[in-house]
Structure 1
């Protein structure tokens, strides 16, 4: 492995014999080194392999502006998130989260608070990711000696959610909008039925998960289609109240849903309200 570019004493861009590029980090890995020299593999602590070209290029640019300790810290947070959430994360998380935490620390040092108006909803709808966000605050305090407020755990959570949505085209604003709309949909259900939903139930968790991906499909204009409305007609007749509630949601969204999407929404509404009533 050969050094292609030096960012600082602890971070380099390297390439292997097949000309594949890697960002490599390690204490003193570039000390008294020059481009073209061999990488001392014994000093390698972290290796970044970003398969998305755009993410890779932006990450290299980020390394020129952000101190390596922030990059290393975010690497640890992301690895922890992958293990705890058992999911793949978009390569852009290495760029977006690192940039966010770097700027969050700068605001903290200036005595400014980066408040998250959706903190309550984030705790409620993304409990697992929020726990990772809280753990990230512990990482930050241990590594940098900065105790950031809980709102930052919420901000980190939004980055993790965004990275799970499988596309670099999703924006943080989309995730925030999804979160608000999920709350609005749940409010329509509770108001229609005059009940308090059991947030600890499996049906509730499945409904929220369905809504998360439903709004992603809606944003991408990729709603599920079907040529057969037989099942919807049966569900409409059997679960009239749930169907009417779904129509209220459709009206709130101000969009004509496909029969398949209407079907799934109605079934989820029936399940979550039925379990609560029982």
Structure 2
């Protein structure tokens, strides 16, 4: 590898044998080196290969403003998240999460805290990502001796949710909005039936999962379509209360749903409200 740019003693931009740009980090990897020198590959500890050009350019800019240890720390968090979630994450996670964590640490030093209004919902609807967020706080404390509040575990979880490839066109704000809307829909069901939903039940889990994919379809203006409305007519009669509840949800969404979406929502409402 040939050195193309030196960010600091511990981070450089290099070109590999196939002329691909890579950011590499390691203790002293750039010390007393110059652009054009051959890289001592034994010093490499972390390698960033960002295929998305825009993400790569933003990441390089980030390296000029953010402490290298913050970048290395977020690399470890992201690698841990990939292993736990077993999903591909969008390249932008290296930019967005690193920027967020570094800023959170800066605010912490200034005695400021950003509360996460959705912390309860994130815990409930995205438990795996939230647990990774909690683990990330342990990583951060271990490396920096700064104990960030639990709200930050929720913020980290939102970045991970956003970075999962099937949500790559969303923004963190969109995920936060979607999470609130899921809670609103659950409240409509609870108050319509005047019951407490069993959050540990399989039907509850299925309903929340359905809503998550349902909102993805809404965001993409996709609908499950069918020309046969026979089933919906049957369900409308058989599960009248669930159907009426579904209509309240449709009104809340301010969107005309397809017959198939109405059918699925009604069936899920029926299941989740049965003891």
| Aligned counterpart, 1:15 | 15
Alignment of 1:1-278 (within 5 A): 1-164=1-164, 166-274=166-274, 277=275
Shift of 1:165: 5.5
Alpha-carbon distance in structure 1 between the residues aligned to 2:34 and 2:14: 11
Task: Judge conservation of contact 2:88–2:165 (CA < 8 Å) in 1.
Answer: no
Alpha-carbon distance in structure 1 between the residues aligned to 2:135 and 2:77: 8
Q: TM (normalized to structure 2)? A: 0.95
Shift of 1:175: 1.1
1:115-141 deviations in Å (ceiling 9; x for gaps): 111111111111111111111110000
Shift of 1:169: 3.5
The runs of at least 4 aligned residues of structure 1 exceeding 6 Å deviation read none
Structure 2 residue runs of 5 or longer lacking an equivalent are none
Structure 1 residue runs of 5 or longer lacking an equivalent are none
The answer to which of 193-202 and 132-141 deviates more is: 193-202
Shift of 1:178: 0.6
1:43-69 deviations in Å (ceiling 9; x for gaps): 111111212221111111111111111
Aligned length: 275
When the two chains are superposed, the root-mean-square deviation of aligned CA atoms in Å is 1.5
The answer to which of 14-23 and 139-148 deviates more is: 14-23
Task: Judge conservation of contact 1:89–1:166 (CA < 8 Å) in 2.
Answer: no
Secondary structure at the counterpart of residue 228 of structure 1? coil
Secondary structure at the counterpart of residue 166 of structure 1? helix
Secondary structure at the counterpart of residue 12 of structure 1? strand
Alpha-carbon distance in structure 2 between the residues aligned to 1:86 and 1:79: 10
Alpha-carbon distance in structure 2 between the residues aligned to 1:9 and 1:222: 50
Q: TM (normalized to structure 1)? A: 0.94
Shift of 1:213: 2.1
Alpha-carbon distance in structure 2 between the residues aligned to 1:264 and 1:88: 29
Shift of 1:236: 2.4
Change (3 A) 1:230 1:13: farther
Task: Judge conservation of contact 2:116–2:154 (CA < 8 Å) in 1.
Answer: yes
Change (3 A) 1:37 1:228: farther
The answer to which of 221-230 and 169-178 deviates more is: 221-230
Alpha-carbon distance in structure 1 between the residues aligned to 2:120 and 2:245: 25
Secondary structure at the counterpart of residue 210 of structure 2? helix
